[in-house]
Structure 1
Amino acid sequence: MSLDKTVPSADEAVADIRDGASLVVGGFGLAGVPIALIDALAHRSATALQVASNNCGTDGWGLGVLLEQGRIARVVASYIGENKEFGRQYLAGELEVELTPQGTLAERLRAAGAGIPAFYTPAGVGTWVAEGAMPWRYHPDGSVAVSSSPKEVREFEVDGQRVPFVLELSLVCDFGLVRAAKGDRHGNLVFHRSARNFNPLAAMAGRTTIAEVEELVEPGDIDPDDVHLPGIFVHRVVELTSEQVTAKHIEKRTVRTGP
């Protein structure tokens, strides 16, 4: 069997993503977002998607494109932030949202890739995260339609004191979509600075992980010590065009005025 995991295009790479599929998507804000894969998915018909990502892009960019098309049914995220449509759909009862502490979300993804079914964390103890009643979906009239259930809380001894921790489940998804600065045909990936963010974790948590890469190189061209994510976690690799590589948005542009 060939170890060459490259596919000709993003369209072909996402062709088997069907209605109701769960996706874990890399990126933080607009840094390291797999834009080409998301755009390819936006041109297909899959709907009722369940998405796990730090946030849901911005209005008209990233996952915000799928959101505006009404293609996302549920989101597990730690931040609503700059996406007005995300907030509108959530409050209008059109979208189910499981807000999760950012570090907890990261560990749920890492645990999924490591084969760990659950773990204990102090994040969220004493809040709705642990006690339940977190609004996941609203009725159009503003009342709560679906809320979270209570989670197991257990005390462990830490530095001589009994400290409560909440049990969180790992988060495995059908597909992982990530973006890397460099990748080889075997799927070994290198990320650029802050674009590393959730991408390695998202790749680990996907049963089938698809990576778009800005630069495709041959196996052996990446020093093993420079590999951020080994190819064992990656199943398909798409080389981006020069136009796709440069198509990057800035979430918040700050311009300094003159002295």
Structure 2
Amino acid sequence: MSSEQTPAVDAPGAASAPGDGPSQDGPSQDSPFRDGRTARDEAPQFVLPLVVRIERAAPPARTDALETAARAVLVVLSDERSLGEGEWARAMRDWQDARIRKVVRRARGAEWRRAEALPGITVTGSAENAAEVRVFPPVPLDGWPKDLARLQVSGTDLDDPEPPAPADPAAPVLWLSPDLDMSAGKAMAQAGHGAQLAWWELSDEERAAWRAAGFPLAVRTAEPGRWAELVASGLPVVRDAGFTEIAPGSCTVVADHPALRRGAAA
């Protein structure tokens, strides 16, 4: 379930608020989401750890885990501890000044209880046997807390017992590529990347409204015939750096937020 990869954004959009992420006025040669080497690679590298709870007897559904991971990223981005002079703000700035990396690990039993004891936020899904994902403030690539470093990044895949319901067209949707076969962990990280891109491109008012609503969103696989249209729509696109599982430059997620559709259509 390793998901330590760096996607690239290849879609224009509104500029971010100062300090909340890179400007998306167009593809930047120094973008944290470009798969080629940039000046950001010279900065100290950090990673955002996410841990999904997967008990042997009752694993969560795949789609619920993906959606919960995406919401977890939004929750930590908007948390007061991540902003201004908050206790996580410096780590969040350092992480966003370099490559934007996320790694998903799995835990069960005592492993999960040890992870819960570390500073972070647990986000719970909405399905039966709801997914639980704990997100932590960014850590150096080589400076993981011991109780997180020992967790596995591979070995467990997740399935949906039944096909997920159609996405609400009035709500944000993170569209996954129908052409790629990604492990649950990689797909969770990619969904988190897509949610982060949408967050960066929203206005302060739009962010506040999304947060107040509890960050509703869906993660769905796009229909093959619609995928090319989504990629070319002007909505934010996640492109993978190819460190794990898939080829460099592969489009993995399109972030389709209602507030961004208007700008993409224009």
What TM-score results when the alignment is normalised by the length of structure 1?
0.27
Give the structure with higher Rg (CA). 1
The one of the two structures with greater contact order (alpha-carbon pairs below 8 A, sep at least 6) is 2
Higher strand share: 1
TM-score (norm 2): 0.27
